[in-house]
C-alpha cells in the first residue's frame, strides 16, 4: 500500500511502475536502521515513522516515511513518502 504521491516520488528517482516501486521500497527497508529514525514534529495529515539515511542503493541521502497498520495477526505497511532528503 502507498500514499498517492509515493508513485511520483519513486518515478522521479527512476523507479516507475509497480515493479520499480517494489524494488525501491525493498532497498530502502533493507538499508534503514533504528538509529536512522527521525521523530516527526507535525505528522498531520499522515502520521508515521520517518527515517533519514545515507543510501548506497539510491546514492544519496534519503527520506522514508511509513506506518504499520492492521492487526497483530495481519499487519500491513503503508508507505507515505520515499524521496531524496532535501533538508
Q: Write out pLDDT tens, residues 5-62.
A: 899 999 999 999 999 999 999 999 999 999 999 987 776 667 789 999 999 999 999 9
Q: What pLDDT shows up at residue 2?
A: 60
Residue 23 in grid coordinates: 524494488
Phi/psi at 17 (5° precision): 70, 180
What's the pLDDT score for residue 48? Answer: 87
DSSP H helical ranges for the chain: 4-12, 17-31
Q: How many domains does the structure of the chain reveal?
A: 1
The rounded distance, in Å, linking the Cα atoms of 58 and 41 is 26
Structural domain span for residue 76? 4-84
Please answer whether residues 28 and 55 qualify as being in contact, where contact means their C-beta atoms are separated by less than 8 angstroms.
yes
Query: Does 85 score more than 60 pLDDT?
Result: yes
Q: Which three cell numbers stand for residue 9?
A: 516520488
Q: What is the pLDDT of residue 79?
A: 93
Query: Helix 4-12 to helix 17-31 angle, to the nearest 10 degrees?
Result: 90
pLDDT at 1 over 60: no
Residue 3 has pLDDT above 80, yes or no: no
| Residue 73 scores a pLDDT above 90 | yes
Amino acid at each position: 500500500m502507498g500514499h498517492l504521491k509515493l508513485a511520483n516520488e519513486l518515478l522521479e528517482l527512476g523507479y516507475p511502475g509497480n515493479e520499480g516501486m517494489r524494488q525501491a521500497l525493498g532497498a530502502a527497508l533493507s538499508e534503514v536502521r533504528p538509529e536512522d529514525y527521525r521523530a516527526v514534529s507535525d505528522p498531520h495529515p499522515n502520521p508515521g515513522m520517518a527515517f533519514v539515511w545515507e543510501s548506497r542503493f539510491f546514492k544519496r541521502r534519503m527520506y522514508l516515511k511509513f506506518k504499520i497498520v492492521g492487526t497483530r495477526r495481519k499487519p500491513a505497511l503503508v508507505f507515505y513518502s520515499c524521496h531524496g532528503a532535501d533538508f
